[in-house]
């Protein structure tokens, strides 16, 4: 997300407060006060209608952060502290990755086209006469109105209106979803189709009411750490774009939370690149037109759910997270592994990978650090944290996978799809059906810009890219200078 908005601020405040209360040992006794305090501030700032509704919305958002979907609700009278008790006893066994807070999801108009007060009730009436479904009529005052039950959202009325009085008003989450996986039910509440959803996270940041929430496991991790269990943090390479502080300081800050070890997932990216390079050469020699990358979980789910014809082209290489998790289990068999990255889709991938115990996002990490008052700038460098695989850190940006593969297979000819949307998904379906191409490697990243612009970043996309590129460029120059010596 490239802009600051209040739903993001509220979500992060809820996470930060929850982390802070846990550290103080006050989560059970004080969590039910958070909705009261949050709703009071929101109501004073925006003059929203009902403070009781605001409290209910905050409660259900906290439920998601405690690891529960709306369907897990016992009843409306169950207090948050009771969910805390349940959450501390449960394992990472929930298949909920996203949930819709229905109390917040009430304000989007069903029809995408509406008539504004700019309508002059003109004699020409092109909107009425040219509607293919007779959905546009005249009110008693002569102004046009659209019957949402008949409207099919073709947009012809908008195109023909001489006063530009008809406007397109999308449902933001539905508009953002590249695979049409979210839609309203009969009550007007958005529902996510789990069979179609690719967990790209676009709906989370698109909703102006913050109705779509990630389901978090951060509380379980804190609790197991407090019990004395050992944890290793597997940090996505895009961490470099999250903070101005050095990655060595960020690693030490992460360890200050209770992680015993921290490792950069670029070490797994090296294995992914090597495997995919060998596979491209092998498949091309066998007559296959191209291979596509397997590192982006949302892209893999797109193939599984939307573009079955491309399954033969999907690389058999494991993702960098998967290879890193294998390495961690070998080095530290008694430690639990936590992948930390910018991606919601990785939650699902981690759930089905026996070597990955938990997945949290950069946003959760940032709130955890803030809640515990740990500053990345004020900690010492972690001398054990190494980022020697600079060329494989570029997996975090669009085009970076192709660049890494060239080191093992110089003859690679790549086509890079920078972000998934409805238009390029349609194009990708055409490529899959034809199986003819001028390239031998198809690199697809669900997020425009790559993982460094993921949906669950701590930092904003534009800043993340600048910081990431500066750090990587600096490390490349250092490596070049060392080689010259």
pLDDT tens for residues 125-146?
A: 999 999 999 999 999 899 999 9
Residues 156 and 236 in one domain: no
**462 lies in a domain?**
yes
Residues 265 and 399 in one domain: yes
Could you give the number of structural domains in the chain? 3
Residues 16 and 143 in one domain: no
Residues 54 and 151 in one domain: no
CATH of the domain at 298: 3.40.950.10
Tokens of residue 320, six digits: 């960098």
Per the DSSP assignment, residues forming a β-bridge with 262 are 233
Question: Would the pLDDT of 237 be above 90?
Answer: yes
Residues 15 and 46 in one domain: yes
Rounded to the nearest 10°, the torsion over CA 150, 154, 160, 165 is 70
Region 454-464: mean pLDDT is: 89
Name, in order, each residue with C-beta under 8 angstroms of 294's C-beta and a sequence gap of 6 or more. Answer: 272, 276, 300, 314, 315, 316, 317, 318, 319
**455 lies in a domain?**
yes
**205 lies in a domain?**
no
- Interatomic CA distance for residues 137 and 125, integer angstroms: 9
**457 lies in a domain?**
yes
Domain end marker among 184, 219, 254: 219
Residues 145 and 258 in one domain: no
Residues 284 and 388 in one domain: yes
Residues 134 and 10 in one domain: no
Residues 406 and 446 in one domain: yes
Question: Going by DSSP bridges, is the β-strand pair 136-138/144-146 parallel, antiparallel, or unpaired?
Answer: antiparallel
Residues 127 and 88 in one domain: no
Residues 312 and 429 in one domain: yes
What mean pLDDT, rounded, does the chain reach?
91
- List the domain range (segments joined by +) for residue 477: 230-484
pLDDT tens digits, residue range 143-184? 999 998 899 989 999 999 999 999 998 899 999 999 999 998
CATH of the domain at 135: 3.30.70.20
Tell me phi and psi for residue 163, to 5 degrees. Answer: -105, 5
Name, in order, each residue with C-beta under 8 angstroms of 53's C-beta and a sequence gap of 6 or more. Answer: 103
**196 lies in a domain?**
no
- Helix axis angle, 218-226 to 80-89, nearest 10°: 60
- Interatomic CA distance for residues 24 and 52, integer angstroms: 28
> How far separated are the first and last CA of the chain, in Å rounded?
42
Tell me phi and psi for residue 98, to 5 degrees. Answer: -135, 145
pLDDT tens digits, residue range 1-20? 446 788 889 999 999 999 99
**354 lies in a domain?**
yes
Residues 312 and 455 in one domain: yes
């Amino acid at each position: 997300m490239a802009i600051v908005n209040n739903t993001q601020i509220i979500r992060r405040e809820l996470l930060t407060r929850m982390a802070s209360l846990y550290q103080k040992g006050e989560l059970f006794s004080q969590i039910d006060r958070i909705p009261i305090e949050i709703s009071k501030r929101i109501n004073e700032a925006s003059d929203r209608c009902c403070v009781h509704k605001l409290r209910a919305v905050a409660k259900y958002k906290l439920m998601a952060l405690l690891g529960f979907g709306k369907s897990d609700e016992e009843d409306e009278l169950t207090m948050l502290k009771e969910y805390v008790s349940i959450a501390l006893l449960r394992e990472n066994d929930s298949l909920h990755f996203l949930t819709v807070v229905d109390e917040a999801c009430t304000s989007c108009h069903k029809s995408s086209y509406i008539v504004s007060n700019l309508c002059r009730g003109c004699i020409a009436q092109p909107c009425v006469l040219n509607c293919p479904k007779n959905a546009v009529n005249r009110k008693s005052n002569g102004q046009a109105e659209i019957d949402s039950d008949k409207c099919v959202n073709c947009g012809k009325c908008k195109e023909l209106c001489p006063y530009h009085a008809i406007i397109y008003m999308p449902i933001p989450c539905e508009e953002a979803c590249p695979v049409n996986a979210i839609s309203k039910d009969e009550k007007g509440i958005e529902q996510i189709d789990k069979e179609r959803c690719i967990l790209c996270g676009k709906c989370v940041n698109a909703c102006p009411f913050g109705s779509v929430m990630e389901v978090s496991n951060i509380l379980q991790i804190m609790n197991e750490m407090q019990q004395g269990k050992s944890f290793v943090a597997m940090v996505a390479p895009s961490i470099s774009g999250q903070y101005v502080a050095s990655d060595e300081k960020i690693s030490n800050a992460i360890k200050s939370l209770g992680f015993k070890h921290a490792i950069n997932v670029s070490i797994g990216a090296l294995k992914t690149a090597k495997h995919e390079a060998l596979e491209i050469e092998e498949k091309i020699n066998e007559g296959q037109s191209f291979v596509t990358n397997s590192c982006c979980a949302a892209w893999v789910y797109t193939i599984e759910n939307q573009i079955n014809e491309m399954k033969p082209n999907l690389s058999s290489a494991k993702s960098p997270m998967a290879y890193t998790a294998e390495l961690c289990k070998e080095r530290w068999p008694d430690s639990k592994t936590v992948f930390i990255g910018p991606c919601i889709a990785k939650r699902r991938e981690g759930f089905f990978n026996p070597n990955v115990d938990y997945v949290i996002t950069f946003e959760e990490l940032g709130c955890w650090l803030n809640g515990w008052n740990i500053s990345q700038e004020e900690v010492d460098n972690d001398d054990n944290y190494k980022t020697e695989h600079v060329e494989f850190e570029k997996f975090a940006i669009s085009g970076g996978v192709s660049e890494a593969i060239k080191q093992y297979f110089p003859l690679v000819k790549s086509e890079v799809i920078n972000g998934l949307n409805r238009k390029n998904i349609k194009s990708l379906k055409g490529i899959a059906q034809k199986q003819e191409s001028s390239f031998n490697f198809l690199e697809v990243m669900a997020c425009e810009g790559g993982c460094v612009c993921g949906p669950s970043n701590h930092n904003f996309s534009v800043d993340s890219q600048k910081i990431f590129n500066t750090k990587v460029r600096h490390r490349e120059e250092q490596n070049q200078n060392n080689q010259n010596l």
